[in-house]
Structures are given as structure tokens and as C-alpha cells.
Amino acid sequence: MTERRAIVSGSTFEEQIGYARAVIDGDWVHVSGTTGFDYTTMTISADVVEQAEQALRNVASALAEAGCSFGDVVRVRYLLPDRADFEPCWPTLRRYFGDIRPAATMLVCGLSDARMKFEIEVYARRPGGHAG
């Protein structure tokens, strides 16, 4: 039987809406859309680059709990309400993904909270064949 396990971060959004930060499904880890909220304080910076940094820290935490790292990421999806905010984030994204080169898509769309300027979804494959 394939392992399926939910990972929660403590974000109030997860409880209110009814989803997990990530789901492990066999070898695959599906990280939900993750924004720049600091989940311990439920605060968010007004700066898009700081939001991107925090979002990536949030993703790193979920990946670590799943037994992964950024090196295991195969796909990312960026969601931003303002396309002009994407380029300022490139240096941050390159620091995390420049050597990994996952498949990537950027979409311009509304996010669920007007304070949110950056959201990222991540798909990773766990190393070592964890499927059960």
C-alpha cells in the first residue's frame, strides 16, 4: 500500500479551509500553494521579496518534514497578482532553484488575501524509493 500522509504547518488557513501544507503520496510530495505568511505569528511583510523568502522557508519546512530538500523539487508554480513583482523575486528564486532547474510556470492571478503578493506550489520526489 502506498504511503499517504498529510503535513500541517499550523497555519490558521489550513484549519479554516480544510487542507494540508503538503501531502506525501508514495514517493511524491505535493506542497500546497504557500505564501509569505510567518505561520507562527500569522503576519506577512508588505515587501514581495520578503514574502518570497518566507514562502520558501515555509516550503523548506514542509519538504524537510517529508524527508526532502529543494534538491528533490521537480516542478514549481509561481502565482502573483502583479506581474511586475515577479522579476524582483528572481535572485531569491535563483538562490533556491538555480542549480536544480525544476520545471516552472508563473501565473498572474488574484490571491485569497489582498496582502499576499507571492505564492508558490512545489512538487518533489522523495529520494530512496519511499513507496510502500
Domain range summary for the chain, segments of one domain joined by +: 4-125
Over residues 63-86, mean pLDDT = 97
Q: Cβ distance 27 to 128 under 8 Å?
A: no
Radius of gyration of the chain (CA): 14
Q: How does pLDDT run across 11-51, given as a tens digit for each residue?
A: 888 788 888 889 999 999 999 999 999 988 989 999 999 99
Burial 77-86 (b: 16+ CB within 10 A, else e): bbbbeeeebb
Asked if pLDDT for residue 1 goes beyond 70, the answer is no
CA 129 → CA 26, 97, 106, 126, distances in Å?
8, 23, 30, 7
DSSP 100: T
- Average pLDDT score over the chain: 93
| pLDDT at position 93 | 98
* Residue 18: Cβ within 10 Å count: 7
Which CATH superfamily includes the segment(s) 4-125? Answer: RutC-like (3.30.1330.40)
pLDDT > 90 in the chain, percent: 77
pLDDT grade for 82, boundaries at 50, 70 and 90: very high
| pLDDT at position 132 | 41
| pLDDT at position 129 | 60
